[in-house]
């Protein structure tokens, strides 16, 4: 995942989301298929109701793909 020291704050609508796990996507934090050949796969998350989510941008969260605040220690 890319090195960024803050999460992506997103207002998500219900549906299945694929968040990038390899950091190569041209559409971060979403998967754009760029992981092919890396052995990594996107995080699949089902959003059941409209809500705000914080997706980790630093790659160090222990609860990926979500931010757990670890970025504040970097």
Q: Are 48 and 60 in contact (CB under 8 A)?
A: no
Site residues (vs ligand FES, CB under 6 A) = 6-7, 56-58, 60-61, 67-71
Which residue's structure tokens are 């020291």? 5
Q: Are 65 and 52 in contact (CB under 8 A)?
A: no
C-beta of 2 vs 32, nearer to ligand FES = 2
Q: Are 33 and 20 in contact (CB under 8 A)?
A: no
C-beta of 36 vs 74, nearer to ligand FES = 74
C-beta of 31 vs 36, nearer to ligand FES = 31
Largest CA-CA distance found in the chain, in angstroms, rounded? 33
From the CB of 66, what's the least distance to ligand FES, in Å? 8
From the CB of 37, what's the least distance to ligand FES, in Å? 25
């Amino acid at each position: 995942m890319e090195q960024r020291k803050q999460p992506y704050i997103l207002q998500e609508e219900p549906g299945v989301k694929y968040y990038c796990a390899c950091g190569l996507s041209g559409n971060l934090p979403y998967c754009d298929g760029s992981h092919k050949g890396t052995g990594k796969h996107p995080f699949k998350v089902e959003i059941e109701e409209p809500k705000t989510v914080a997706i980790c941008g630093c790659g160090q969260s222990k609860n990926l793909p979500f931010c757990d605040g670890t970025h504040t220690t970097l």
